[in-house]
Amino acid sequence: MNKRIKKILQQNEVYILIIIFALSLLIQFRSGQFYTPNNIVDILSAMVVPGMFAVGAFLVLLSGGIDVSFPALASLSAYAITKSLLDAEYSGNILVPILLAIVIGIILGSINGFFVGYLKLPALIVTLGTSSVFKGFMQGTLKSKQLAVIPSGMKKFGTSALATAENAKSGLTSVLPVAFLVLILVLIITFFVLRYTMFGRGIYAIGGNESAAYNAGFKVKRTKFLLYVFAGVIASVAGVIRVCMMQQAHPTNMLGMEMNIIAGVVLGGTSMVGGKGTLTGCMLGTLLIVLVENSLILIGVPVVWKKVFVGLLIVIGTAMSAYQVKRADKQRVKLTVDKEVA
């Protein structure tokens, strides 16, 4: 009985895994290009930035909130850092940019955290507002332009390879950047925070029942505030990493990513009302979105169809998981009743 419930709960991850696997087989079957070393490496490196964004979005959703400001936050932070380091003719390594990213992430994240945590304003509207402010600040005050050159340290970090994979057939090589380790690091830290700190348990508790969390003695306002700060730091670092990986700072091309990232997290089983979701599911959902966005071309789907497929994936995927929840609820009621009758 208990095992059965557990199974139902795990289903979302399992489902996504099956879909990912089926999709990969389809791509492999049609093109022979999926299970090649360079394709795997390409997908992994395509996961770095969306993966980090997804972790931030996931944490916020877990607390029952939502953050749509992370692309603007990341863009602003990444642009400001790249520009000021260029102006200062900085030639050191990646550490300074990352430290700066953390500091800026704390500052910008605390703006969200203040409004959502301490003033209890609705997270969607607050982050829409701050998103607009961040963007305006970047484009207006900082007069952002595309920067074709980035500081050498960042460039070096972006290009240095953790592993290189070659496709024996096509001779194409792909590089897994060291930046991938940052994603891994973020995942490890987040896992640790969620599982082994009271702050992390507080996020789950607040997402499950906010007033109960308060009654139990959680400092709800502070936890929320810190949560948005943490999410801000992750987004900010992701922004800098993206600039490193792309070898240029394009101020606006991250904007608009928020919704697909959130959709990926929700596909992975994270509840929009908070309290439920796992890091694994979050990564799998993101992987699915990344796959659809990057690999459809391998099975001969023209690029112009990309959005159609992403849209269908979101609609069908969320419909399926919503349906699952509905059915699981029904079954649970039935099971307990059956037990009583018997």
Partner 1 sequence: MKKTSFLKDKHVKRLVIIMVLWAVFMAITRFSKFYTVINFQTMFAQFPEFGLMSLGVMVCMITSGIDLSVVGVANTTAIASALLMRSIGGDTGTMAVFWIPILFLFAILIGTVAGALNGFLITTFDIPPILVTLGMGELFTGIGIVLTNGAAISDFPKDYAYVVNSRFAGIPVQFIIFALVAIVLAIILTKTTYGKKIMMIGTSQKAARFSGLKVNYLLIKTYIISGICAALGGMIMLANYNSARADYGTNYTLQSILIVVLGGVSPAGGRGKISGVILATILVRVLETGINRFPQISSYYISLIWGAVLLFVMVLDYFSENNIKLLKRK
Partner 2 sequence: MEDYVLRAVEIEKHFSGVRALDKVTLEIKRGEIHCLAGENGCGKSTLIKVISGVYQKDGGIVEYDGESVEKLTPIDAIKRGIQVIYQDFSIFPNLTVMENLAINSELVENRKFVNWKHVREIAQQAIAKIGFKVDLDAQLGNLSVADKQMVAICRALMFNAKLIIMDEPTTALTKREVKALFKVIMELKAQGIAILFVSHKLDEVFEIADRFTIFRSGKLIATGNTEDLDDKKFSFYMTGREFDNAVFKPTNVTKDNIIQVKNLSLDGFYKNINFAVKGGEIIGITGLLDSGRTELALSLFGLKPSTSGEILIEGKETVIDSPQAAINSGIGFVPEDRLSEGLFLERSIGDNIVISEIDKLTKKGFVDKEKYEREIQRWVSELTIATPNADNAASTLSGGNQQRIVLAKWLACEPKVLILNGPTVGVDIGSKHDIHSILQKLANAGMAVIIISDDLPEVMQNCSKVVVLRDGQVAGELDTNDIQERQIIDIMM
Residues 103-142, mask of contacts with partner 1 (x by CB under 8 A): ------------x---xxxx-xxx-xxxxxxxxxx-xxx-
Task: For residue 152, state whether it binds partner 1 (rule: CB under 8 A).
Answer: no
* DSSP annotation of 36: S
Least distance in angstroms from the C-beta of 271 to partner 2: 8
| CB-based contact 262:317 (threshold 8 Å) | no
173 contact, one of partner 1, partner 2, none, CB 5-8 Å limit per kind:
none
CA dihedral sign, ordered 100, 52, 242, 92 = positive
Count of residues that bind partner 2 according to CB under 8 A: 33
Contact between 283 and 187 (Cβ < 8 Å): yes
Amino acid at 264: G
What does 37 interact with, of partner 2, partner 1, none (CB < 5 to 8 A by kind)?
none
| Contact flags string 241-280 toward partner 1, x per CB under 8 A | ---------------x--xx-xx--x-----x--------
Place of tokens 């987004």: 235
215 touches partner 2 by CB under 8 A: yes
CB 65 → partner 1: shortest distance, Å?
A: 13
Nearest to 329 by CA among 9, 2, 76: 9
Q: Which does 175 bind (CB under 5 to 8 A by kind): partner 1, partner 2, none?
A: none
Contacts 24+ apart (CB under 8 A), 93-97: 93/153, 93/156, 93/157, 94/153, 94/154, 94/156, 94/157, 94/244, 96/153, 97/151, 97/153, 97/154, 97/240, 97/244
**Total binding residues for partner 1 by CB under 8 A?**
47
Give yes or no for residue 1 binding partner 1 (CB under 8 A).
no
Length of the chain: 342
Residues of this chain, 189-208, that bind partner 2 according to CB under 8 A: 195-201, 204-205, 207-208
CA separation, residue 230 to residues 25, 83, 198, 225 (Å):
37, 24, 15, 9
Type of residue at 290: V
Distance (Å, whole) CA 137 – CA 252: 12
Nearer to partner 2 among residue 197 and residue 247 (C-beta): 197
Contacted by 222, from partner 1, partner 2, none: CB < 5 to 8 Å by type: none
3 state DSSP class of 179 = helix
Q: Counting contacts by CB under 8 A, is residue 209 touching partner 2? A: yes
Contact positions vs partner 1 (CB under 8 A)? 115, 119-122, 124-126, 128-137, 139-141, 143, 256, 259-260, 262-263, 266, 272, 304-315, 318-319, 322-323, 325-326
Contact positions vs partner 2 (CB under 8 A)? 2, 5, 9, 195-201, 204-205, 207-209, 211-218, 275-276, 332-334, 336-338, 340-341
